[in-house]
Amino acid sequence: MGYIIDGFIEAFKLIGSGDPEIYQIIGLALFVSLTSVLIATVISMPLGIYLGLKKFRGKVFLGRVLNTFMGMPPVVLGLFVYLFLSRNGPIGHWKLYYTVTAMIIAQTLLVFPIIMGNIFNSTKIHGLIIRQSCKTLGASPSQTLFVLFKELRVYIFIAVATGFGRAISEVGAVYLVGGNIKDKTRVMTTFITMNTSMGNYSKSIAMGLILLTIAFVINGLLQKYIGAYDDSN
């Protein structure tokens, strides 16, 4: 019980210490996660809406594939990215291994099916009704697209927030492709893993509390946004 209390004390010390390394770790974790989520969202949002609306053979199968990849173990994904980026891999000559770019690639591939799967499933359930209503009212294609984004925005926002939560808390993939190099590829989750293995439980708990605080703030903003949207309707 004592080391848990020490963890809380250490958390406040870490935040208030002004240690550049700690803030660099937190900043890098946010940069990698936000960049990955942004890239995945830009690709998956239009694709998920389009495929969710379109009727085609294999649509049910696509949904099953997306749902399967939504639960992919990060360490397995990290292994495949590692094999591609390693010196003897297909794109090993790009020398991306143990870089921030490699971490962004891994996290983008990890959150892409999560964001797209949620948008695809939401569009499949609600999008057809919205499009039919727009068609009945004589809306143009551009107007229909605008209404679709407006009516599906909460589902899209939830998908993005879910992807961010997965990205910021992920450790297996970024550890494999990033290497947890000090001042280069060390993020909050790899910092926690490293210090736990070294027996520095106070530092691990402290960084864990910081990570939980960030997740709490993100979820709070999400709930506030959804509540504001519900009140406006």
In this model, does residue 175 exceed pLDDT 80? yes
Among 113, 167, 218, CA closest to 226: 218
- Residue-wise pLDDT for 209-230, tens only, equals 888 888 888 777 776 766 555 5
Residue 213 CA to residue 217 CA, distance in Å, equals: 6
**What is the average pLDDT score of the chain?**
86
Region 145-150 average pLDDT = 86
Q: 20-53 vs 153-168: helix axis angle to the nearest 10? A: 140
pLDDT of residue 106: 94
Paired tokens of 171: 């450790």
pLDDT above 90 for 153? no
Q: What is the distance between the alpha carbons of residues 42 and 73, in angstroms, rounded to a whole number?
A: 23
CB 173 within 8 A of CB 75: yes
pLDDT band at 90 (very low <50, low <70, confident <90, very high): confident
How far does CA 19 lie from the centroid of its chain?
A: 27
What's the rounded Cα separation, in Å, for the pair 109 and 106? 5
The CATH architecture one would assign to domain 2-232 is Orthogonal Bundle (1.10)
The answer to whether the CB of 21 falls within 8 A of the CB of 183 is yes
Residue 190 has pLDDT above 90, yes or no: yes
Cβ-Cβ contacts under 8 Å for 105 (sequence gap 6 or more): 81, 85, 96, 177
Would you give the DSSP letter of residue 72?
-
Tokens of 219: 């979820």
Give the mean pLDDT of 168-181. Answer: 91
- Check whether 70 has a pLDDT greater than 80: yes
- Which whole number is the average pLDDT over 60-88? 90
Task: Work out the pLDDT band at 108, boundaries 50, 70, 90.
Answer: very high
Q: What is the pLDDT of residue 146?
A: 86
Q: DSSP letter at 184? A: T
The pTM of this model reads: 0.87
Structure confidence by residue, pLDDT tens digits, 14-60: 777 777 888 899 999 999 999 999 999 999 998 999 999 888 888 98
